[in-house]
Chains A and B, each alone.
Chain A
Amino acid sequence: MLFEQILFFVAGTGAIAGALGVALLRNPFYSVLALVSHLIALAVLFLLLRADFLAAAQVVVYAGAVMVLYVFVVAYVGGSDEPLRPESGGLLTTLGPLFALALFVEISIAVLGSSLGALDTSGPEVGATFGSPGEIGRLLLTKFLLPFEAASFLLLLAAVAAVLLARKRRGLEPDGSGAAGPGPGGVLRGAAGGRTGTPT
């Protein structure tokens, strides 16, 4: 129990630190790295919550693949420090954090208020299979078959979209010449990686 609490606080701190880093760091590259650390901390929290498969998926898929994608793009686009404008964005820049704070307070009240009383429990005893890959898989193919299929359709859409977006359209680019990008590789890894060719 105590171990769990300590682990919670450590992971929680890591998650918050990562989140703050994402939002506050000027260099986008550093933001990406902060997000990675945030994701890993979140994975630890998932483990605490007996969501084994999801923790693994988080690390492997999210932190591993999606973040790598981000790194590539940041490297390509050039994550230069955001130039500070004289007006520095105006009203929203000052009001944004305030508003977010208000949002946090509101949700906290909702959560900690008396209406969500059941939150104040540890939850029932769950079996060993709770959150295991087998369990997840079984549910995917029985109870959540439709969402599963829909999700795969969505991924297909994303892949097609990526190909379309990566296409060079004639006359639209300042440097002309339309070479079609190579076909997609693996679904997640290659979606935007299909255009790893150097721009001409």
Chain B
Amino acid sequence: MSAQWFVVLSAFIFSIGAAGVLTRRSPLVILLCLELMLNAGNLALISFSRMLGNSDGQLFALMVMVVAACEVVIGLGIIVGMFRRRLPIDVDEMSELRG
């Protein structure tokens, strides 16, 4: 199995995640699609690591997982906060933070 397969698969998953981020309106689902993209990146990292025979890629993937977890924590905390304040859970509605 050459690494090409895995990388192409990773690209596919990444683009599915990107489509989801652009399309969905619930911030929860957007976060989930974000997870997809992160995982796709992980897959790519690990396949490159296998290709090169170097474990550095795997460690990087581990770091990505850590970061993803932290990000999920904060993101969900915000969503819960929004819910507690009775704000609509919809990114199109939440547009007051203008430039």
Contact = CB atoms under 8 A, between A and B. Distances in A.
A and B, direct touch (CB closer than 8 Å): yes
B18 A46 contact: no
Interface residues of A, number: 93
Contacts of A104: 11-12, 14-15
A139 B56 CA distance: 8
Contacts of B56: 139, 143-144
Contacts of B86: 174
Chain A binding surface, main DSSP class: helix
B73 A161 contact: yes
Interface in A1-22: 4-5, 8, 12, 15-16, 19-20, 22
Interface in B14-30: 14-26, 28-29
Contact of A154 (B1, B66, B83): B66
A155 interface: yes
Contacts, number: 247
**Max count, chain B CB within 10 A of own CB: residue among A77, A79, A99, A199:** A77
Range of interface residues on B (Cβ < 8 Å)? 35 or more
B15 to A, nearest CB: 4
Contacts of A159: 73
Contact of B19 (A23, A53, A57, A62): A23
A124 B6 CA distance: 16
Interface in A22-53: 22-24, 28, 31-32, 35, 38-39, 42, 45-46, 48-51, 53
B83 A20 contact: no
Chain B binding surface, main DSSP class: helix
A146 to B, nearest CB: 11
B38 to A, nearest CB: 10
A123 interface: yes
A70 to B, nearest CB: 7
B55 A139 contact: yes
28 contacts: A16-B12, A23-B16, A23-B20, A28-B26, A35-B32, A35-B35, A45-B6, A45-B43, A49-B6, A49-B46, A54-B61, A73-B80, A77-B80, A82-B24, A85-B92, A93-B22, A93-B23, A99-B22, A103-B18, A120-B3, A130-B53, A131-B55, A155-B70, A161-B74, A165-B77, A174-B85, A192-B80, A199-B84
Interface of A: 4-5, 8, 12, 15-16, 19-20, 22-24, 28, 31-32, 35, 38-39, 42, 45-46, 48-51, 53-54, 57-58, 61-62, 65-66, 69-70, 73-74, 76-79, 82, 85, 89, 92-93, 95-97, 99-101, 103-104, 107-108, 111-112, 118-126, 130-131, 135-136, 139-140, 143-144, 147, 151, 154-155, 157-159, 161-162, 165-166, 172-174, 188, 191-192, 195, 199
